[in-house]
């Protein structure tokens, strides 16, 4: 038989060539990227009473360095997500790191509280790039249930940064002054920027989202999906619980109970440990149990913790242990639920994972900023105002979960 007689297969019937595998970034690098924003946010919290004294301003004014930081993260995430869907994860990440370093340097040199507040907004707008893109990168290379598991493990490791940040901030401020706190941010950011230079690109296919109109269309497309709205609301409300606590706790612990910033920072570590435990369980069991069950378990724990907090603060005498115990239960529940909520939200439209990640993150920070203002306004030092604000957020998350079930 001659080669001419051999039947040649139809090329159209051959299986399509598989795309080259995308390199998965190392988990510890993603953990540092996701942790930069929370680290920089919380490192200054123990210094808020000190800043009020140094700059001769009310505590509420010093607290704006936290509230504006959250606003900066919210706005930044709205931009980075769509840009990363269009231009790739790596170049947008490098842009964010440059903005973060400039903001941190400006905060280090701030001569007045107003300058510091503006610099913190820039610092936040840059630092949030790692938060948005680490989630999008994970969704780029993993399917939905595995993405929830991976996000859980990354969030578990990420808690080390915010766990240590208040203690580091308290010790640096006590030894060298508050500017040493901002210097630590500069150094940490420089290390993360060097790591970002070595990051691989994971975006498989850029999405055409030109200009502001393109971003708006992407957000409008996502906002029109009820399932996405519900999962984003769950993430925002559970985050609001945390930010309400973070806003009111320093006043309760340092002014209401008379403890030092160091005591607050050490006690706060229990919250991070509880959140890490919940994130570990999410990473371990999300793929096996599924998103719906993990969400139900996590939100049940968070809601129970906030309601316990209201009862404890209203009925029992002030106590450091009794103030942090309910929040530890909340943190455990949030660690269980948030990875699943985030993974579900960014999976509604996988081709817009970066845009979805940015919109979810913006909703988190916007809700957090509102909760810091609300908790700061209603908290008089007893802890009741903070606990009530947290409970309201937890109940909002329960309503959003009910909506997600109805939309499924």
Task: Using alpha carbons, list the distances in angstroms from residue 287 to 6, 143, 198, 339, 350.
Answer: 48, 10, 30, 11, 18
- The predicted-structure confidence for 2-54, as pLDDT tens digits, reads as follows 444 444 444 443 333 334 445 667 777 888 888 888 889 889 988 888 898 89
- The predicted-structure confidence for 105-138, as pLDDT tens digits, reads as follows 999 999 999 999 999 999 999 998 888 788 778 7
Task: Please tell me the pTM assigned to this model.
Answer: 0.72
**Are the C-beta atoms of 80 and 133 separated by less than 8 Å?**
yes
- The predicted-structure confidence for 189-215, as pLDDT tens digits, reads as follows 999 999 888 887 877 776 665 566 766
- The predicted-structure confidence for 330-359, as pLDDT tens digits, reads as follows 999 998 888 888 888 888 887 777 678 778
Q: Which residues, in sequence order, are CB contacts of 156 under 8 Å at separation 6+?
A: 276, 277, 279, 280, 282, 283, 335
The three-point CA angle 349-284-204 to 5° equals: 30
Average pLDDT of the chain to the nearest whole number: 83
Which region, left, alpha or beta, applies to residue 206 given φ > 0 means left and ψ of -120 to 50 means alpha? beta
Nearest to 390 by CA among 228, 229, 252, 230: 252
**What does the alpha-carbon distance between residue 160 and residue 6 come to, in Å, rounded to a whole number?**
64
**Are the C-beta atoms of 30 and 137 separated by less than 8 Å?**
yes
**What does the alpha-carbon distance between residue 133 and residue 123 come to, in Å, rounded to a whole number?**
17
**Are the C-beta atoms of 125 and 107 separated by less than 8 Å?**
no
* Burial label, 99 (beta-carbon count in 10 A; 0-12, 13-18, 19+): buried
Is pLDDT larger for residue 390 or for residue 220?
390
pLDDT band at 156 (very low <50, low <70, confident <90, very high): low
């Amino acid at each position: 038989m001659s080669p001419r007689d051999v039947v040649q297969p139809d090329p159209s019937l051959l299986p399509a060539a598989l795309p080259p595998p995308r390199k998965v970034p190392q988990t510890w690098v993603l953990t540092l990227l996701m942790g930069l924003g929370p680290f920089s946010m919380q490192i200054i919290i123990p210094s808020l009473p000190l800043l009020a004294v140094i700059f001769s301003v009310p505590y509420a004014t010093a607290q704006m360095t936290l509230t504006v930081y959250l606003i900066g993260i919210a706005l930044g995430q709205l931009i980075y997500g769509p840009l990363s869907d269009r231009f790739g994860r790596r170049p947008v990440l490098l842009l964010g790191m440059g903005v973060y370093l400039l903001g941190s340097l400006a905060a280090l040199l701030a001569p007045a509280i107003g300058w510091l507040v503006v610099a913190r907004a820039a610092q936040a707008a840059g630092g949030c790039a790692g938060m948005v893109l680490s989630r999008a990168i994970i969704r780029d290379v993993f399917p939905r249930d595995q993405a929830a598991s991976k996000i859980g493990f990354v969030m578990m490791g990420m808690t080390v940064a915010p766990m240590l940040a208040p203690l580091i901030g308290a010790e640096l401020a006590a030894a060298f002054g508050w500017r040493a706190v901002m210097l630590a941010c500069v150094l940490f950011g420089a290390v993360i920027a060097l790591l970002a230079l070595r990051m691989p690109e994971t975006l498989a296919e850029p999405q055409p989202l030109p200009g502001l109109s393109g971003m708006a269309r992407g957000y409008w497309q996502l906002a029109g999906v009820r399932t996405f709205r519900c999962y984003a609301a769950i993430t925002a409300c559970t985050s609001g619980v945390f930010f309400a606590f973070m806003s009111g706790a320093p006043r309760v612990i340092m002014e209401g109970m008379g403890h030092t910033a160091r005591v607050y920072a050490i006690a706060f570590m229990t919250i991070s440990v509880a959140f890490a435990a919940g994130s570990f369980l999410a990473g371990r069991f999300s793929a096996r149990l599924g998103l719906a069950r993990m969400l139900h378990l996590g939100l049940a724990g968070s809601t129970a913790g906030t309601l316990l907090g209201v009862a404890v603060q209203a009925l029992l005498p002030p106590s450091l242990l009794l103030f942090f115990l309910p929040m530890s239960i909340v943190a455990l529940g949030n660690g269980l639920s948030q990875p699943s909520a985030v993974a579900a939200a960014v999976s509604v439209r996988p081709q817009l994972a970066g845009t979805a990640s940015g919109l979810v993150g913006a909703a988190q920070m916007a809700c957090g900023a509102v909760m810091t203002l609300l908790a700061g306004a209603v908290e008089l030092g007893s802890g009741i105002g903070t606990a009530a604000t947290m409970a309201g957020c937890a109940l909002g998350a329960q309503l959003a979960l009910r909506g997600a079930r109805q939309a499924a």
